[in-house]
Amino acid sequence: MLNPLAPSAGGRYSIGLKPQIILAPGGPAGQRPYRPHGAGASRPPFGTGSALCAMYMWRGISTRCYRTCIMLMTYSFGDPGDLPPILIAHGLYGSARNLNVIAKRLSATRQVISVDMRNHGDSPWSARHSYPDLAGDLAEVVTGFGGVADVMGHSMGGKAAMALALLHPAAVRRLVVADIAPVTYNHTQVQFIHAMRALDLSGIATRRDADAALKADVPEDGIRAFLLQSLDVKEKRWRLNLDVLEAFMPQIIGWPDLAGRFDGPALFLSGGASDYVRADHRPAIRALFPAARFAKIPGAGHWLHADKPREFEASLGIFFGANGSSGQGQTPES
């Protein structure tokens, strides 16, 4: 099968085929129109309605994409080797850039692929944001990079990675789920959508302006800095599909009823100062991931990759075998 990956400068890829013609643009409500975005990158339309049909061209080969055109913005680091690539999926309101420093460091011995999830970053916008949808996106990326990967997902990306392992188990060799469990949480993150939407971007000239204006609604410096990574100051827009993320918030903080289980190696890595993965979650985890192991990074909160980046990177390297080890028995149990 042809590999639908067209690399550009800086290791940046656009998954899928370059749009040649767009037909029947009357897609579902909330769909973002296509426009080229950045050197060598394509942002094709994303939709779930059959009214959307696009013709894509890649190296002279044409194909038609009906119903759903899924093409995540993807970044590749390092070279292919004997082991499959590592695929990294970020959390809610994030983007690949949040984890690209760790991706680059792991790429010393492995090929590492990071993505902007749908409705985030430079990936297309969709009218849907369920975990089966996100798992399908990741499965398409894995297919483009050889059909199997070691997968790490954080928070929302962790739930998407779990859904990928359950729905497409042949695509996942080893799984790391960072600070999330396959359960429904009672908290919501919609207050940050309200804060971002309320920000008057017409008067924002610099990121410092945005930080000052957002402080009243988001007083926590770390969270505010994290959210502002998704603000395009020049274009005066958020690189987040706020309307769809708000509409799907119950699904994002929830967990779907997915059949099957993943019998491969799985590490549930959590922050020692976080309460997202509790002891009472373990029966639900082991029902779906019977080989699950558990570890904590002392002193890290929910954003453990930002709080303790070296420890987080070391845990991934050991479990995935990125440092040349088998990954067995080297990450301490919690």
Provide the annotated active-site residues. 155, 243, 302
Q: Residues near 198 by Cβ (< 8 Å), separated by ≥ 6? A: 217
Q: Residues near 302 by Cβ (< 8 Å), separated by ≥ 6? A: 155, 179, 271, 274, 276
Nearest to 31 by CA among 43, 47, 42: 47
Q: Residues near 149 by Cβ (< 8 Å), separated by ≥ 6? A: 84, 85, 86, 87, 113, 142, 171, 172, 173
Query: What's the rounded Cα separation, in Å, for the pair 188 and 253?
Result: 7
Residue 55: count other Cβ atoms within 10 Å of its Cβ: 14
Structure tokens at 201: 């971007």
Tell me 120's DSSP state: B
Q: Residues near 35 by Cβ (< 8 Å), separated by ≥ 6? A: 43
Q: Residues near 199 by Cβ (< 8 Å), separated by ≥ 6? A: 210, 213, 214
Q: Strands across the sheet with 53-58, in order?
A: 18-23, 53-58, 61-66
